[in-house]
Structure formats: structure tokens, C-alpha cells
Structure 1
Amino acid sequence: MREINMLRNISSCLFPHISTITSPNHYLSEWDDWEKQGLPEEQRTEAVRRLRACLTSKGHKLDLRALALSSLPVLPACIKKLDVSCNKLTILTDLPENIKELIARDNFLTHISALPHYLITLDVSENQLENLPLLPDTIKSLSAEYNRLSTLPSLPLNLKKLEVRNNELQTLPSLPSNLKILKVAHNHLTELPPLPRRLQLLFAYSNRLSNLPNIQENIIMRRFFYFENNQITTIPTNLFRLDPHITIEIANNPLSDQTLLFLIQQTSVPNFNGPQFRISLSDQNRLFLRQMLPQNLHSRHIRVITEGGRTFRSPPLPETVAAWFPEADRREVSTQWTSFSTEENSRA
């Protein structure tokens, strides 16, 4: 009787509308055959053990990570989360329709068949994919970094996070209005589509962008936009009207001396309350600015970061400006600029 009940549980998991116990036996036998066909380095015995345990308990999560699997057997219909990362899979087909979270990163995938209709989270990073299948309307998070993608399918309206760094993308489709996180660094993008108003984080560094995109105002949250290591030469004046909750990093771009001078002048006017900018300066830039900027000019909206390194936090602007002057004058200049930071409205 106990064995019959177990098989009934398995039947309800594999086939929700089937009450017979013959089909589950057939699938258990097929899994045994799949186990025997494995290569020596594959841990198929452990995989079958986990499959059987999932069926018996009607589990919603199936973990087949890091078992050196080159293929997958028929999977139970009851699972809602499937993790097959860190294997040797080349294709994904016949996925159960109930899956809502699919993790298949760090494989050798070149093809994915139709995705489950109710999928919410998809992570296929670190594979060899050249394209993605049609995305279901329910998907909210898509990670496909470190692949060979040259294009993306249409993006669902519910998508909130898109991570496609380190691919071969030249263009992006229209971005959904609910998107909050966009990571497209290390691609071949020459322009970006209009950015959604709700976007909070953008990684677009190390592309071929020649212009900054239009950034819409949204004063209720901190937002960060990273554009370093591109081909940007100018800064649109409308950016200065954005709110102070925004940080725009444009280091390591070919900004001209005049553009940098204009940026510093605009952010140094009294009561300026715009975004924060992070820039880098070449030796030529420093020499030019040292000649053009008055010593009493002050901007708390600019940070100069270490050239070639985006992870270093820059020193305060008084120290940065002091470095533009001869060593004998640096202490006096730094002291003078530091005093400005304590004045009324110095944070403007």
C-alpha cells in the first residue's frame, strides 16, 4: 500500500490529470536508462536520486547543479524552480510548463527551445548563445551575460531587470516602462533607446556610444548611470536640470577641454542643485583647466576618479584642484577650497 501511494504521488506530479500508476513506472524506467547512458564524469546517479526525491515529495524545487550533466531527462511537471547551472548542457528543450524560475548559467548552451509560459526569472549567463527564444509576457528578470548575443527579442512589458553584459549587441529593442535595472556594458552599442522613467541603475560602460541618452526625471529615488569608456564628446545641457539624486559617470571619454570647462562652470553656479558627475582628467585637461578656472570656483557635484579605474573613489574636489597647481602652492589651494565647503549653500 505504501508503494502504491508513492506511485500515486509521482503520477500526480508528472501528470496532474492522470491517476493511473503505469505511466510513472514508465518514466522511472526511462530515468534508469538515462542514468546508464551517462559518461564516466557525469553524476547521473545523484541526479536520478534528486529526481526521485522531488517526485516523492511533490517538491517545487529541483537542484541539479554541478553534476557535469551533458543532457537532461524528462523532468517532473510539479517543479517551479529548476537550477541546472554549472553543467555541460548544450541545449534546453521540453521544459515543464509550471517552471517560474530557470537557472542555467555556466553551461555550453547554444540553443533554447520555447520557454515555459509562466516563467518569471531566467538566468542563462556564461553560455554560448547567439540568440534567445521568444520571451513570455510574465518574465520580470532576464540575465544573459557573457554569451554571443548580437540581437535581443522583444522585451515584455513586465520586465524589471535586464542583464546582457559582455555580448555582441549592436542595438537594443525598445525598453519596457517598468525596467529598473539595465546592464549592457561591454557590447558594441552606438546608441541607446529612450530610457524608462523608472530606471534606477544603468551599466552602459565600454561600448561605442557617441552621445548620452535622454534621462528622465524621477526625484523619489537614487539613480546611477555609468557611461565610462565610450566615445562621448559632449554633455547635453538638459542633464544639468536633473535632480541631485542622480549620479552620472562619464570617465574615460574623449571630452574636450571646452566641454569639461563648461561642465565645471555649470555645476559651480550658486544654488546649483543638479546631478552628480564623475569624470577623469588627462594631463592636458588638467593643464587647460588650471589656466582657465579661477581659484575661488567650487563644485560639490563633480568627482574626479582615477584614470583607467572605475572602482576607485575620488578624493574631495579641494584635493583634486590642488593637484592642478605647483606643489609649493597645493596646501594653500586645498585649504582655500576646503573653506568653501563650509560656507552657506556650499552643497548647492
Structure 2
Amino acid sequence: MLFAAIATVGMTGVAHAADGVPGVDVSNWTGDIDWASVVAGGGKFAFVQATEGADYTNPRFSAQYDGAAAAGLIRGAYHFAQPHETDGATQADYFLQHGGNWVSDGRTLPGVVDMEDNPYKDTNGKNNCYDLSPEDMVTWLKDFTKKYYESTGRHAIIYTTTSWWQTCTGNSAKFKSNPLWLARWGSDPGELPKGWKKHTFWQSADKGPLVGGGNTFNGSESQLATLANPPASVTVSGQARNRKTYTVTINNTGPHPVKDIKLSGRAFGGQNVVRAPGCDVSGTAVRCTVAELPRGQKKTFTFTTKPRKSTGTVGMYVTVGSVKLTLKSR
């Protein structure tokens, strides 16, 4: 018996570029923004604060977020975490409902969760880690990022400093799937938090040359566009359960619905396909079509064959797009 699985996946990281692509980050404190001047100054993207905790929304969010898009910038929203107030899933849901949702328009970056030193120590009496243990902080982040991924199909970007990450998460390596937006003001990014081999964004100054914070994307403009609008991604797996039964599962693991998926199969080893619900069968051949597979959904096909002999190797060749599987049984 042979199990085979081949995946075609979207981009989860970016290549290094010497200078990077410039961009900005803004909040209510930035005020009204002349986005045309940001574009004229070379800016290509903008992050706009949408929410904080589970009860604050940036009153200028719509104007800033829509203004960035109208000027032709790729834009994204960020959430300033208050992990001592509510659990991560609750704050992710609040973020999603108030501007942080990712949409497949080719201009929207995945949402950001901003994890940094507690700025309200004098009022809330908490330490820089909001009085959470590293274990509890990791749990909070897992809850936030899981909720965001389940809702959008995108991995949330994590904004943090290396020192905060080391102290408040115990330098956790459990978030390598989430793009890193590193905050380190200076001439180079320096040491990265554990789990990341590269940063995706770098905030090198709290006040940049354009407006708000000074940032660069660690890659090319085309890679930035791909991060905003990644390709469709599906996983195809198959199994020979016995000499007469074979299954193939197509799983949409990407952020987009996938349409018109074609599956073709051919039995070998002296056998015919005798049953394939939802498919067309002719002798050794079978053809199936999935009109549309929504994000996060999967479709399983089951094929039943009739071998001519009780011994020897039998199986099926299956093709789905560029993926080819060979399923064998003895």
C-alpha cells in the first residue's frame, strides 16, 4: 500500500533585498495624511492601526486606510494587543470586525498583531509583558493567530522587537509561519527572534522620512504584491485502501476559492473502474470535475475497481492539475 501527497503552496516568506521597498505605518496620532506625497516620496505600502484591545477603534481608520488605497498603495491593518484584557481569539475577532479582515482584492496585506512593551504601566500596573507568563503569552498569540487564519486563510503578521519576544514569549519558535515585522530602530535589523530566519518587514525608525514610522519590505515590489494576493493553494493526497478501493482528496489550503478542478485517473494491473460516485467512468479510466472548492474545504473521491487476478500489483494513476499520484496495492 502506498500513500502519496503532493502540495502546491503559496508564498509564506520573501527573499532578501538590499534596500527593500519603503512604506509607512500610521495611527490616529498621525492625523490627516497627504497620501499623494507619500507616493511621490517613494512609499509603496502602508499599515494603518485599526484597533486596540477589545474596545478601541482608530477614529481615523477609514480615512487613512481608504486614502492609502485611493493613492495606489498596498495597505494593511494592525491591532495593538492588550493581552491582559481578553483572550487572543476575542481580540482577533474584534480586529476582524473593525477593519482587520483580509480581502482578496490584490491591494490588502494580511492583518498585523502588534506585540510590544506595555505602554500603560503607570495606569494598569502591569509589567512589560502585561503580567503574563511566557507560556500564557504564547497561548494568547496562538489563539489570536489561529482565529485570524481560520477567518481569512492568511497568517497574521507579527510585529515585535527581539528583546520583547525573548522576554515575554521565552523566545518561542512556534510562529515561523507568521511573517515577521521587526521593530528595531537603527541602521540594521540585528538579531531576529527565534523561529524566524528572515524578517518580512522592518521598522527602522519611529519617525520615517515620509509620514509615521519608517519601514521597508524585505523583498521586491512584485513579492510585496504576492504577499497581498498569493496564488491559490491546494493539497492533493491519495491512498490505496486495498486492491479494490482507492481514495483521492483535494484540499483547498489557500485563501481563494478554486474553480474547475479536473481529476483524471487510470487503473492498471489488469482491472477496470466499476464505481466512482460523481465521476464519469469508462473501462480503466475515470474523470471527475469539481466546479468550485471554497477556501478551507476539501473533496474526497472514492474509486472501486474489479481486478482480474487475485495476486500481483494493481493500482491507479491519478492526475490533478500538475500533481501526479501513483497508488499501488498488492
| Bucket of the pairwise TM-score, normalised by the shorter protein | under 0.3
Of structures 1 and 2, the larger Rg is shown by: 1
Q: Which has the higher contact order (CA 8 A, sep 6+)?
A: 2
The TM-score, its normalising length taken from structure 1, stands at 0.24
